[in-house]
Structure 1
Amino acid sequence: MNVELRHLRALVAVIDAGTFTAAAERLNITQPALTRTIQQLEAALGTRLLERTSRSLAPTEAGLAFSERVRGVLGELDAAIASAHSSRTVRLGFSWLLPDPWAHDTITACERRSGARVLLHRCDDPLSALRDGVIDAAVMRGDVSGAALAVHHLFSEPRVAAVSARSPLAERDRLTWAELGTHPLVVNTLTGTTRAESWTEPDPGRAIVTCTNFDEWLELVAADRGVGAVPVAARRRVHHHNVRFVDIADAAPTAVSLVYVAGRVTPLLRVLRDCALAEARRFRAETR
């Protein structure tokens, strides 16, 4: 028979523990199973490795020499496994500000549980990045759908209005959704969560200014080309001299989801998904 890794670990455990009972507990197996494993190893090597009496257990001279060399092999193997784990990565994409503190709690939980590294990747078009394999999963806002996609709703974020500091609206403490709908609108066509269709009765004559990423969107609002509506995270984390964020009394919240290609699920991606959902449940409970 071939010598297997379980045989080597069993021998070292017995020598270190001093008894079969303690070694079996350490290895989480039964004592008879451990005894058979040691017997298999001795049979494979053709030599006795342990001296057993009713009162004591000790390695033979051959067993001691063999175990010392085995320790080196196991040490190198464990180091190689640890190195492989540390080099594993899962790529998480996003188009603009990640929700906090959920995002960083999720990343921390995933890295602790998996021993891998979560790499953050900002991309203007997360859906294309997913389909092209540039990222493994994405945090996306708004309605997301696709036959090949797995979409897990995490939570919803309140929305606020974004207006130019030069606009009369910047002096207001609160707006209504209908009132915001009477002004020109700046729309991020790739990842924005607010479009003309976000109003129940969109004005066909309303001026719409389009762009394809958050930075352009922000600068267009600052230049007073139109207004916008974004998740409240923008007010906490975006500081632009020419942009003001104003509460909206009756705005529908924005859905936040974890999205990935359903046919490309890996064990590491499952860990990320499970951590994301667990932290989302905790986040929802804390913000009720």
Structure 2
Amino acid sequence: MQGVRWSALLWGDALGMPTQSMSPAQIVEYYGGPIATLHDAVPEQPIAPNMKAGAVTDDTEQAFVLAERLVEDEGRLDNDAYAKDLLRWEAGMKARGSLDLLGPSTKAALQALTNGVDPEETGRFGTTNGGAMRVTPVGIAFRPGRALADAAWRSCVVTHNTVQGIESTTLVAAAVSYAIEGERDFLHRALDFVKGMPPRGNWSAKASVAARVQLFMNRGERENGITSDDEFATILQRDCGTSVEANESVAAAFAIAGRFFDEPTKALCFAASLGGDTDTIAAIAGAMLGAWHGPGGFDGAIAGQVLRRLKDDNRLDLERTVRRLCALRQ
């Protein structure tokens, strides 16, 4: 079953781990140039100092939390239980001394939910990429359609109940799902899927995720072979942005996936070298491209090192988790 292709999310996350929240200049200074392989995080890494090469971040770990909850609830996500799952995950991360925790807005939303606040209210200001970064299990568990849209919404509504939060989450879930279905044009199919849905979520003055995905994905595809990779990086850094805002990082991930569609390893290394929210951008691009290309489309040495490190972490059982998600899809 093609659901095993979720593993590419892990590879993108691991490639971007040592560079997350760093500037392009810092990446060159500390890693000697653009990222071309896995690296240990330097002590100066602001979020994951000294983490070993091949380690994954909260992007992957929160995706596993969502996957386990989806399986436990047989696809009907219980948001009260899910909120408790995420808070329990963060407590475990703190106990291990990790700085890679829930964002302040996400944590406040989850705590409000456990205190009895209506889930429609807890995420009313969330416009960042937290929903999109963890939604890949929804794309594996659901075929394209209303059920997928509803599951994507439920997976992010508690923390990211804005037009931007819901659009970005649904875009990534739909792209993964269409790719698993064998739709080569899955990036554009996902965009059409979201644009065809009625608006959902609280209004925000920030730019539309769908509009910016279309703008920069089309530009990346149109100028492929005309602009150099360095020029394309500058376009994303200067015009799109690579921050945690969903209308920047998710747009960048789609643009990278479109430009480097047939070079998935290059796509992930490019994303890890951009600066900003590199682990999330690379993880999302990896999830989408991996759902199409499968493990054979990526560098075997990178894949092997990440999977070996993952096997040493008994909290994250990739094969078992994906097998159970595929059962939901079937």
Structure exhibiting the larger radius of gyration computed from Cα positions: 1
| TM-score normalized by the length of structure 1 | 0.24
Higher helix share: 2
Between the two structures, name the one with larger relative contact order (CA 8 Å, sep ≥ 6): 2
| TM-score normalized by the length of structure 2 | 0.22
Higher strand share: 1
